[in-house]
Chain A
Amino acid sequence: MRVERVISDENDSFPVGMRVLAVDDDPTCLLLLETLLTKCKYNVTTTSQAITALKMLRENKNKFDLVISDVHMPDMDGFKLLELVGLEMDLPVISKLYDKMPSVLSANGDTKLVMKGITHGACDYLLKPVRIEELQNIWQHVIRRKKFDRKDRDGSGGQDKPYIDSSEAAGLGNVDQNGKFNKKRKDQNEDEDEERDENGHDNEDLSTQKKPRVVWSVELHRKFVAAVNQLGIEKAVPKKILELMNVENLTRENKFRLYLKRISCVANQQANMAAALGSVDSTHLRMGTMNGLGNFHTLAGPDQIHNAAFRSFQHSGVLRRLNTPAGVGISGLPSSGLVQLSPVQNLGNTSTNQRKLQSFVIPGNHNANILQGMPMSLEFDQLQNNRAARHVGQFPSVDNTTGSSQLPTLHASNLRDSVSGFPNRSTLSDFTSIARASNQLHGSKADIQDQAFPISCNAAKIISSAPQDWNAPKKDAPYQSNVPSCSINSLRAVNGDMAQLGQCLDQNNPIFNRNVGFDFVDPLSIKCSEGENLAMEPSVIEKEGYLMVQPSRQGIYIPDNEGENFAMEPSVIEKEGYLIVQPRRQGSYIPGNLGSLEDLASAMTKQDHDKGKPTDGDFGYNDYSLRTCI
């Protein structure tokens, strides 16, 4: 039944001919899986031992496009295998769980398992018995990843380079930090909710693509954030993320603590998603007046659903969102790290009031992420100087985040400062720079907004960086690179009027495009194991009439989750009269910048519908705003 087919052109052959490696100790299942896959015209290889599977994978990394692995295996823990494969080989992994129907284990048990899977880097999960329809969708994971990968590589060459360099540096930094964070995260995660859905995972995948290390840091970061935010409300991942996003915006005013909580939750979730989205973060939170909460969550992506792996963040539900929240502040984050933060933050933010806090927190988280991976801290510092206490609100969040995220927080604060610095400055450039460096503290009006960015930045980072770019006409190329890394923070809140935003967006698009190249890298890496992570949530924050749209790059998410990644959760948060809608962008926002905006808008619209966020009305509004901007 095995067909040895050579895939000549990746683009064309998908889904046909995709090479899948199936690992399961149960021979019945294995045979079944093999048959199903063959029916789907995939190229199947099976093994009942995890060790054998690893060997096969190691001997030739390009031999397989996808790995499906059981989680219950005698010779090696399925989750461990997931991690190894995901990190080492940058392959999308799908974990198979047992169906619990009627579940013997509580519902939590299943969710936890899934979360665990996501946290460990699974792109997606399947329940047994395996159905053929589900298998037919898995190719999307692979294709997305490849797409992102390619995009990242091909993206504006010049820009990519600097970006890559910085991300690499960040990656290295992240690696170390990842290790640390991972630990922390793990602990935290365990302590924290297990509900974090899969968020984390997706992100990891994304980042793994480009830089496994980076991803990790993001995740870690996110986790960290999540952990920190744990205090906050943990909502379903999507929600959390949204909240995080929202929170981020709010951060300005709200207590930082609340924010932290939110962020944690969201961040966790988002972390996963953020990872995936991280790149996507591009959602800029345009925090017009801060009031609007950056919705950057979009990043949070669907991680929740699958990614148990998301563990670091509360990917659950908000998964996507988390990413975005993380993106908010973290835009600077090296994509993986940032993303993670965002998600966590997003979670934390869930509560609207706390949104503010969260948003801050998120940025903090992001910052941490960013700092870790990225030298951005330097930038932040600069930014900080620029901005005065405007971002006071932001600072708190940053501070908070810093607290939580041990190392990163420090950076975060720096970022915040810098970010806040930016918000103060009406100059776009500041924002852009800040957005990049720190997570996008934008907050043209409200410092918070900026912060929100960082959080969502992960995914949004890129976006934010982009917007920032245009904000600051002069976005230095370096920034862009930063942004990509930060991408998460993309929350950039653009204080400017919507029109400005729109303009900025347009302007940014070109810039963004450049950044996008980078961003993609990040988002890709972030690709959380679960596609869901992608859920970029474009957060649209309307503040005082300004709409902040945070386009979340879905492109990246997608890699993580099958299609779900796109799930951007539009979070609509009305604050003080401002609507914050975090539309989730589906479809790579970044890739096309121009196109992405549209996608965003559509994503948002879609999201809105899907999500039915708190205020439907708001959504509509948001969509509108988005469109207007676009």
Chain B
Amino acid sequence: MDVVNQLQRQFIDYSASLHREGFLDDQFTQLQKLQDDNSPDFVVEVASLFFEDCEKLINNMARALEQQQGVDFKQVDASVHQLKGSSSSIGAMRVKDVCIAFRSFCEAQNRE
């Protein structure tokens, strides 16, 4: 049980730090609240779902950006937009902010 306690404490510390650094925000806390006996792995589920989705989107973006003949910014933008939505849903604040910055680049059609 000690190990469990330790792990729990670690977990708490870790999430606290994540919050502080701005990786996560309140939304994530809410997510955690949603988890209960009825859905014990809710947070895990959501997180993994997010990662999957994320991966797909990032791949899309990478592909779009790598194109030699004129990058399709609209597509990149759409992907980023979706990523932004997802990340904000789970509370990945930093990801969301990055997305926002990304979008402005897209609008500026700035490949760099």
Chain B, range 81-112, C-beta contacts under 8 Å to A: 81-82, 84-86, 88-91, 97, 100, 103-104, 107
Contact A98 B85 (CB under 8 A): yes
Report the minimal beta-carbon distance from A114 to chain B, rounded to whole angstroms: 16
- Looking at B4-12, B14-22, B43-51, the stretch in contact with chain A turns out to be B43-51
Contact A129 B89 (CB under 8 A): yes
CB closest residue in chain B, given A39 = B34
Report the minimal beta-carbon distance from B44 to chain A, rounded to whole angstroms: 11
**Within 8 Å of chain B (Cβ to Cβ): is A180?**
no
List of B residues within 8 angstroms of A104 by Cβ: 100, 103-104, 107
Given contacts A27-B53, A72-B82, A102-B100, contact A1 B38 (CB under 8 A): yes
List of A residues within 8 angstroms of B88 by Cβ: 98-99, 128-129
Contact B81 A98 (CB under 8 A): yes
Complex-state Cα separation, A336 to B86, whole angstroms: 38
**Within 8 Å of chain B (Cβ to Cβ): is A32?**
yes
Report the minimal beta-carbon distance from B86 to chain A, rounded to whole angstroms: 4
**Within 8 Å of chain B (Cβ to Cβ): is A26?**
yes
List of B residues within 8 angstroms of A25 by Cβ: 82
**Within 8 Å of chain B (Cβ to Cβ): is A388?**
no
Contact B49 A27 (CB under 8 A): yes
Contact B30 A28 (CB under 8 A): no
Contact B46 A31 (CB under 8 A): yes
Complex-state Cα separation, A128 to B38, whole angstroms: 24
**Within 8 Å of chain B (Cβ to Cβ): is A131?**
yes
List of A residues within 8 angstroms of B104 by Cβ: 104
List of B residues within 8 angstroms of A35 by Cβ: 34, 39, 42, 46
**Within 8 Å of chain B (Cβ to Cβ): is A130?**
yes
Contact A28 B49 (CB under 8 A): yes
Given contacts A72-B81, A104-B100, A129-B91, contact A29 B34 (CB under 8 A): no
Contact A32 B89 (CB under 8 A): yes
Contact A36 B34 (CB under 8 A): yes
CB closest residue in chain B, given A24 = B85
**Within 8 Å of chain B (Cβ to Cβ): is A54?**
no
Contact B30 A26 (CB under 8 A): no
Contact B46 A32 (CB under 8 A): yes
Contact A128 B34 (CB under 8 A): no
Report the minimal beta-carbon distance from A75 to chain B, rounded to whole angstroms: 13
Complex-state Cα separation, A38 to B89, whole angstroms: 17
**Within 8 Å of chain B (Cβ to Cβ): is A132?**
yes
Contact B31 A98 (CB under 8 A): no
Complex-state Cα separation, A102 to B38, whole angstroms: 35
Of B30, B42, B89, B107, which contacts A128 at CB under 8 A? Answer: B89
List of A residues within 8 angstroms of B34 by Cβ: 35-36, 39, 132
List of B residues within 8 angstroms of A28 by Cβ: 46, 49-50, 53, 86, 89-90
Report the minimal beta-carbon distance from A109 to chain B, rounded to whole angstroms: 11
Complex-state Cα separation, A26 to B103, whole angstroms: 18
List of B residues within 8 angstroms of A29 by Cβ: 85-86, 89
Given contacts A31-B46, A32-B31, A35-B34, contact A26 B86 (CB under 8 A): yes
Contact A26 B85 (CB under 8 A): yes
List of A residues within 8 angstroms of B91 by Cβ: 129
List of B residues within 8 angstroms of A98 by Cβ: 81, 84-85, 88
CB closest residue in chain B, given A36 = B34
Report the minimal beta-carbon distance from A450 to chain B, rounded to whole angstroms: 49
Complex-state Cα separation, A317 to B88, whole angstroms: 27
List of B residues within 8 angstroms of A130 by Cβ: 89
- Bitwise, A70-112 to B at CB < 8 A (1) or not (0) is 0010000000000000000000000000110010100000000
- Bitwise, B65-83 to A at CB < 8 A (1) or not (0) is 0000000000000000110
- Bitwise, A1-43 to B at CB < 8 A (1) or not (0) is 1000000000000000000000001111101100110110000
Contact B82 A26 (CB under 8 A): yes
- Bitwise, A120-142 to B at CB < 8 A (1) or not (0) is 00000000111110000000000
Given contacts A1-B38, A39-B34, A129-B27, contact A26 B53 (CB under 8 A): yes
CB closest residue in chain B, given A97 = B85
Of B52, B82, B90, which contacts A32 at CB under 8 A? Answer: B90
List of B residues within 8 angstroms of A129 by Cβ: 27, 88-91
Q: Which 5 A-B pairs have the closest CB atoms?
A: A28-B86, A129-B88, A28-B50, A104-B103, A129-B89
Jot down 12 A-B pairs with beta carbons below 8 A, ordered by A: A26-B53, A26-B89, A28-B46, A28-B53, A29-B86, A36-B34, A72-B81, A99-B88, A102-B97, A128-B89, A130-B89, A132-B34
Q: A29-B86, A32-B90, A102-B100 are in contact. List 4 more A-B contacts (CB 8 A).
A: A26-B85, A99-B88, A102-B97, A104-B104
